[in-house]
Amino acid sequence: MLSMAKPVKYRSIVAINGPLIIVDNVHGVKLNEIVEIDVDGETRLGQVIGVEGRAAVIQVMQGTAGISIGRSYVRFTGDTLRIPVSEEVFGRVLNSMGNAIDGGPDIFGEKFDVNGYPINPVTRSPPRDFIQTGISAIDGLSSLIRGQKLPVFSAYGLPHNTIVSQIVRQAKLLKKQESFAVVFLTLGASYEEADFFRVELERAHVLDRTVFILNLQSDSTIERIIAPRVALTIAEYLAFEKEYHVLVVMSDMSNYCEALREASLARGEIPGRRGYPGYMYTDLASIYERAGIVSGKNGSLTQMPILSMPDDDITHPIPDLTGYITEGQIVLDRSLHLSGIYPPMNVLASLSRLMKDGVGEGYTRKDHFEIYTRLLSAYAEGLRNKELSTILGEDALTAEERRYVKFSEVFERKFINQGAYEERSIDETLNLGLDVLSVLK
Amino acid sequence: MGEVVLIGEKGLIGEVNRISVNRVFIQVYEDTSGLGYGEKVVALGRLLSAELGPGLLTQVYDGLQRPLEEIVKQADSFVKAGVRTRRLDHEKKWRFIPVDNPPNQVFGGEVIGKVEETKSLTHMILVPPNVRGNLVYLANEGDYTILDKIAEVKDSQGKVLDVKMAHEWPVKVPRPFREKLDPDEPLITGVRIIDFMFPIAKGGTAAIPGPFGSGKTMTLQQVSKQVDADVVIYVGCGERGNEMADLLEKYKSLIDMRSGRPLMERSIIIANTSNMPVAARESSIFLGITFAEYFRDMGYNVVLITDSTSRWAEALRELSSRMEELPGEEGFPAYLTSRLQSFYSRAGKVTTLNGRVGSLTIMGAVSPPGGDFSEPVTQKTLQTVKVFWALDSELAYRRHFPAINWLQSYSLYLENVAFWWELNVSEKWKILRENMLSILREEDELMQIVRLMGISALSDRERAVIEVSTLTREAFLKQSALDEKDAYSDPRKTIMIAEVIDYYREHLFEAVSNNIPLERALDPNINREILELKRLPLDKLIDAATQIKERIIGKFSELQRPVNAQYG
């Protein structure tokens, strides 16, 4: 798959450390160059992550097990990692390196550098217009806007896989004449999870607009680091060359951050907060910032990364740094989950910062923003009163206050709560909102 | 040290960062992918510099002073490494008007002419700070490019130097001035909680630490739109691309409140988003302050907004760890404090070399991880700056904007600006401010009791405090940046609302202390009218405020009567 392989081979591996090998006495090596490592006849890929004098530090994709000093040799390809991309990717299952693994033909097409380039701020168009997920709590209250990056903050034991699958299956544009695509990337998924997603996608008959990229638990650290870049390179091609409106769903970004930490510590870097590297903000930005709209091009790239908050802690570096880059967040809540609400979305802590630019007349419905404001403030009021009643007893509340408590319960049960296979159009969502608001009358 | 180098075939820009025996360390300002061992390095023999002259305003630059619009023309919609552009337009002709009576002797910083750069701002043409001597030639009024010679200066050695409309200045070296002055005039932003409660002086420094989701960007944008300054320089350092795009789009359509001209005509934007090379974050900050000093030297009031300095600090940390330096607190390099100080200390109100008075105000946003203000960057910034606007995500969560927490924020310029307020707005500023703050402080204490025991545990006086503070929050502190009628609050309007609230408070307290039950003293109509004040234009406000005061007097004298009769 890689062209221009130079004939020079080196047998001068001088050190092996975790996922890293060091090759000495090399000539003309370039940073981020891809290398092929021959391990007793098997070829593995690696990437140059550092050049110190004559020595190259190489991170090996499929792990260093079996590599030996003196016997294995290394070939430098002279090229940074580039993958072929074309519209043939629809309906296909790819691995972290962008190669087909569904038994079908290889993907051919123009090759693109997986690292991409930053979008020039002056050619960015601010995100506009709406993507419907069919989930009321998201569409109505934290709307997803084209070109936005809106993460889902989940935690271990919460049903985020079900939500991810529901979003990947149901996501659509309201304007039918525009073309829509979903790039779905798993990060560190188990076989069961991968299989669950595959079956779900097949059953929903949405494969023809979907690219499914699998990064599995068993894949190596560096593959996990490269996988989002591969997914985004494909998405950028579809959005900015072929003018699709692309939604990239990546789950679970916490596994990506773990891989980043592992690679950083293996390189002997000085760790930052909780052992994560000091450049994690920059690194995450190089992924998330690939969302956006380029002016003059008719496509858009929207991202929905999913991550798990370790110990439900929203100030943990992973959600914290993510929140600084993304435009809002959708927060899942354990207590709602325990009371049987699906999706267990904490709508007060959730926020789509760009919502005002993508809802209302011309996008969703004229009264959307008003319904949103009324629902949220009434719910906040209801929760406050509920808290008061647990301290002071229900009798201490006025009739009015009790109505708000009632509202908050109905709102959770009818509006937030919905079936994992229930798709609500934005009209249905907003009507439902008006419906639950009538409790207050 | 600090010399600029070009690396490799693409000529990536770098800067010498450390020198040891036989070795120099270079910090590269662009993406280094594809660089390898044995690349050619060309030293340019100069420090990293900005090109200063007409044509800066309205520009959108990256951290290396490359106009982003120009990069689009050369490449495409993505910023790739090694793109070279001019920094200022070298072909454009500007109408140069020399000063009326050119002096024989000139020195650095002297004004020798002017150019109407935009309709909003006249660009003074300065003799470069390091040039002095006899002025042997000065061009007549006419159209010149910034490379054309407009003057000749013969120095003391008899060497003749050409002076052009533009000159180079190294970004890390502060531009000289004659004298630092005491910052004694407030910088009016039109945001009530800032102007009235926690004012910043022209030439001052402020920090805005905002945990994510606290409306920091909104607040900064509101300030930059409205601030009472001649030039605004906005440095977006390591922040979101879409946010920058939104800022650019909004900025381009905004009209300056004072001149009625597009706001861009008095602005420069430096955009270095989070996915652009890390090292360029530092250069974007120093580029911004160099621009700011240059306009200050023309005698203008300049505001520099940096969003965010935390991203710069993180860049320093990242580079420091790559250079294997010993880490300080939380991995930040030990020189973080001195680096921050070298930046903030360039603010100030000064007499320039040419005897004018100019000021440079810095507002630096900080993004504390996890919203924790005890982290090193916030703390070290607070060590340096004089004003602290503590954004509070809790307030933002309750949809209270601007979400500046009144209990945590402070300003050390109160004494400096008091005279201005007393002279220009109202002699009651200090006392009104003190009254308002003490009500808010008392409310905070009382709310703890309420949370535990309910509102009924409070006395009438205490409940009056809660009433007044609620009114203060709703009618005064809350100010929507999106509300056209209220986004800008003139100091006169600000003080009038404060005065009415204080008037109401005084009467409520008096009534309560005369044992009139609070229920009778409260008047929802008065509350409502006070709430509406902020949406009135200044001319209508005066009448409305007087009416409310009359209503308050009417209401309370009625209340007092039976009590007085009883005792009378």
Domain contains B54 = no
Q: Do B77 and A120 touch (CB under 8 A)?
A: yes
pLDDT digits (tens, 9 = 90+) for A105-136: 999 999 999 988 888 888 999 999 999 999 99
Domain contains B198 = yes
Q: Please enumerate in sequence order all residues whose Cβ is within 8 A of that of A441, keeping only pairs 6 or more positions apart, or say none.
A: none
Indicate which CATH number applies to the domain containing B474: 1.10.1140.10
Is residue B163 within 8 Å of residue B138, measured between CB atoms?
Answer: no
Structural domain harbouring B552: 429-567
**Chain A contact set for B242 (CB, 8 A):** 124, 126-127, 147-149, 291-292, 327, 354
pLDDT digits (tens, 9 = 90+) for B202-216: 999 999 987 766 778
**Chain B contact set for A325 (CB, 8 A):** 240, 274
Q: Please enumerate in sequence order all residues whose Cβ is within 8 A of that of B430, keeping only pairs 6 or more positions apart, or say none.
A: B414, B418, B421, B422
Phi-psi region of A320 (alpha: psi -120 to 50; beta: other; left: phi over 0): alpha
Indicate which CATH number applies to the domain containing B2: 2.40.30.20
Q: Out of B212, B273, B367, whose CB is closest to A121?
A: B273
Distance in angstroms (rounded) separating the CA atoms of residues B366 and B373:
9
Q: Which residue has the higher pLDDT, B24 or B455?
A: B24
- The pLDDT score that the predictor gives to residue A1 is 41
Tell me, yes or no, whether B149 and B210 share the same domain. no
- In the predicted model, is pLDDT for residue B441 greater than 80? yes
Query: Which tokens sit at A301?
Result: 């790239």
**Chain B contact set for A148 (CB, 8 A):** 242
Domain contains B304 = yes
**Chain B contact set for A128 (CB, 8 A):** none
Is residue B270 within 8 Å of residue B287, measured between CB atoms?
Answer: yes
Distance in angstroms (rounded) separating the CA atoms of residues B463 and B309:
42
Does the beta carbon of B323 lie under 8 angstroms from any beta carbon of chain A?
Answer: no
Tell me, yes or no, whether B213 and B277 share the same domain. yes
Domain contains B330 = yes
Query: Which tokens sit at B444?
Result: 């905070």
Q: Please enumerate in sequence order all residues whose Cβ is within 8 A of that of B314, keeping only pairs 6 or more positions apart, or say none.
A: A278, A279, A281, A282, B238
Q: Out of B34, B271, B454, whose CB is closest to A30?
A: B34
- Torsion over CA: B422, B426, B429, B432 (sign): positive
Q: How many CB atoms lie within 10 A of CB B387?
A: 24
Q: Output the average pLDDT for chain B.
A: 90
pLDDT digits (tens, 9 = 90+) for B479-517: 988 888 898 999 999 999 999 999 999 999 999 999 888
Q: Strands (DSSP E) along A61-129, which ranges?
A: 73-80, 82-85, 93-95, 110-113, 124-125
Does the beta carbon of B253 lie under 8 angstroms from any beta carbon of chain A?
Answer: no
Indicate which CATH number applies to the domain containing B230: 3.40.50.300
- The pLDDT score that the predictor gives to residue B566 is 52
Q: Please enumerate in sequence order all residues whose Cβ is within 8 A of that of B295, keeping only pairs 6 or more positions apart, or say none.
A: B230, B231, B302, B358
Distance in angstroms (rounded) separating the CA atoms of residues B357 and B297:
8
Residue of B nearest to A77 (CA): B34
pLDDT digits (tens, 9 = 90+) for B367-376: 887 778 888 9
Q: Do A54 and B37 touch (CB under 8 A)?
A: yes
**Chain A contact set for B213 (CB, 8 A):** 323, 328-329, 351
Q: Where are the alpha helices (DSSP H) in B152-215?
A: 192
Q: Do B77 and A127 touch (CB under 8 A)?
A: no
Does the beta carbon of B109 lie under 8 angstroms from any beta carbon of chain A?
Answer: no
Task: Report the SS3 class of residue B73.
Answer: helix
Q: Do B33 and A32 touch (CB under 8 A)?
A: yes
Does the beta carbon of B449 lie under 8 angstroms from any beta carbon of chain A?
Answer: no
Domain contains B386 = yes
Distance in angstroms (rounded) separating the CA atoms of residues A275 and A318:
11
Distance in angstroms (rounded) separating the CA atoms of residues B515 and B250:
54
- The distance of Cα A14 from the centroid of its chain, to the nearest Å, equals 38
**Chain A contact set for B276 (CB, 8 A):** 118
Q: Do A325 and B274 touch (CB under 8 A)?
A: yes
- The pLDDT score that the predictor gives to residue A2 is 44
Q: Out of B80, B244, B315, whose CB is closest to A121?
A: B244
Domain contains B55 = no
Domain contains B337 = yes
Does the beta carbon of B366 lie under 8 angstroms from any beta carbon of chain A?
Answer: no
Tell me, yes or no, whether B144 and B117 share the same domain. yes
What band does B127 get if pLDDT is binned at 50, 70 and 90? Answer: very high
Closest chain B C-alpha to A346 CA, distance in angstroms: 13
Distance in angstroms (rounded) separating the CA atoms of residues B36 and A27:
9
Tell me, yes or no, whether B29 and B107 share the same domain. no
Tell me, yes or no, whether B36 and B113 share the same domain. no
Distance in angstroms (rounded) separating the CA atoms of residues B132 and B112:
12
Model pTM score: 0.85
**Chain A contact set for B315 (CB, 8 A):** 282
Q: Do A320 and B78 touch (CB under 8 A)?
A: no
Domain contains B81 = no
Q: Out of A33, A121, A323, whose CB is closest to B213?
A: A323
Tell me, yes or no, whether B187 and B237 share the same domain. yes
Question: What is the CATH class of A9-80?
Answer: mainly beta
Does the beta carbon of B38 lie under 8 angstroms from any beta carbon of chain A?
Answer: yes
**Apex B113 CA angle, B108 and B116, nearest 5:** 125
- In the predicted model, is pLDDT for residue B568 greater than 80? no
pLDDT digits (tens, 9 = 90+) for A128-175: 999 999 999 999 999 999 999 999 999 999 999 999 999 999 999 998
Buried b (16+ CB within 10 A) or exposed e, B51-76: bbbbbbbbbbbbbbbbbbebbbeeee
Per-residue pLDDT of chain A (441 residues; tens, 9 = 90+): 444 444 578 888 998 888 889 999 888 888 888 899 998 888 888 889 888 878 899 988 878 888 888 888 899 888 888 999 999 999 999 999 999 999 999 999 999 999 888 888 889 999 999 999 999 999 999 999 999 999 999 999 999 999 999 999 999 999 888 999 999 999 999 999 999 999 999 999 999 999 999 999 999 888 999 999 999 999 999 999 999 999 999 999 999 999 999 888 887 777 877 889 888 888 999 999 999 999 989 999 999 999 999 989 988 999 988 988 999 999 999 999 999 999 999 999 898 988 988 999 999 999 999 999 999 999 998 998 898 888 777 887 888 889 999 999 999 999 999 999 999 999 999 999 999 999 988
Instruction: Assess: ipTM above 0.90.
Output: no
List, edge to edge, every strand of the sheet that includes A130-132.
A144-145, A130-132, A172-173
Does the beta carbon of B317 lie under 8 angstroms from any beta carbon of chain A?
Answer: yes
Q: For chain B, what is the domain count?
A: 4
Residue of A nearest to B76 (CA): A120
Average pLDDT over residues B400-407: 92
Tell me, yes or no, whether B121 and B189 share the same domain. no
Closest chain A C-alpha to B31 CA, distance in angstroms: 9
Q: Do B331 and A116 touch (CB under 8 A)?
A: no
Q: Do A28 and B36 touch (CB under 8 A)?
A: yes
Average pLDDT over residues B22-45: 84
Closest chain A C-alpha to B496 CA, distance in angstroms: 30
- The pLDDT score that the predictor gives to residue A393 is 79
Is residue B64 within 8 Å of residue B13, measured between CB atoms?
Answer: yes
Is residue A276 within 8 Å of residue A317, measured between CB atoms?
Answer: yes
Question: What is the CATH class of A83-357?
Answer: alpha beta
Q: How many CB atoms lie within 10 A of CB A203?
A: 11
